[in-house]
Copies of this chain bind each other. A is one copy, B any other.
Amino acid sequence: MTERFSVTYHVRGAPADIEARAQAIAVEQSVEMPIAAIRDQTVLSEIVGRVERIEDLGDGAFAVRVGLATATVGDDAGQLLNMVFGNTSLHDDVVLSDIAIPHSLIQAFGAPRHGIAGLRSRLGLPRRALTASALKPQGLPSHALAGLAEQMARGGLDFVKDDHGLADQSYARFAERLRACAAGVAAGARASGHPTRYVPSLSGNLDQLRTQATLALDQGLDCALVAPMICGFATLQALVREFPELAWLAHPSMGGAARIAPELLIGKLFPLLGADAVIFPSFGGRFGYSRQTCRRLADNARRGDAMRAALPVPAGGTTLDRTREILDFYGPDTMLLIGGNLLLARERITAETERFTDAVAAHVFA
Contact = CB atoms under 8 A, between A and B. Distances in A.
Interface string A156-179: 000000011101111100000000
Contacts of A169: 71-72, 74
Interface residues of A, number: 85
A344 B144 CA distance: 64
A231 B230 CA distance: 9
Interface in A113-145: 136-140, 144
A259 to B, nearest CB: 6
A344 B74 CA distance: 28
Nearest to A171: B71
A341 interface: yes
B39 A170 contact: no
A37 B76 contact: no
Contacts of A40: 137, 139-140, 144
Given A85-B254, A231-B234, A343 B204 contact: no
A33 interface: yes
Nearest to A239: B205
Interface in A162-216: 163-165, 167-171, 203-208
A256 B253 contact: no
A238 interface: yes
A341 B168 CA distance: 47
Contacts of A24: 286
What is the total number of copies of this protein in its complex?
2
Interface stretch (A41-49, A55-63, A329-337, A356-364): A41-49
A88 B254 CA distance: 8
B37 A340 contact: yes
B82 A227 contact: yes
A87 interface: yes
Contacts of A168: 74, 76
Contact of A164 (B86, B93, B256, B339): B86
Interface in A281-305: 281, 286-289
A23 interface: no
Nearest to A238: B205
A233 interface: yes
A257 interface: yes
A328 B140 CA distance: 53
A6 interface: no
A48 B138 CA distance: 9
A31 interface: yes
A198 B81 CA distance: 25
A158 to B, nearest CB: 20
Interface in A231-256: 231-235, 237-238, 252-256
6 contacts: A30-B137, A32-B163, A33-B136, A76-B168, A86-B254, A87-B287
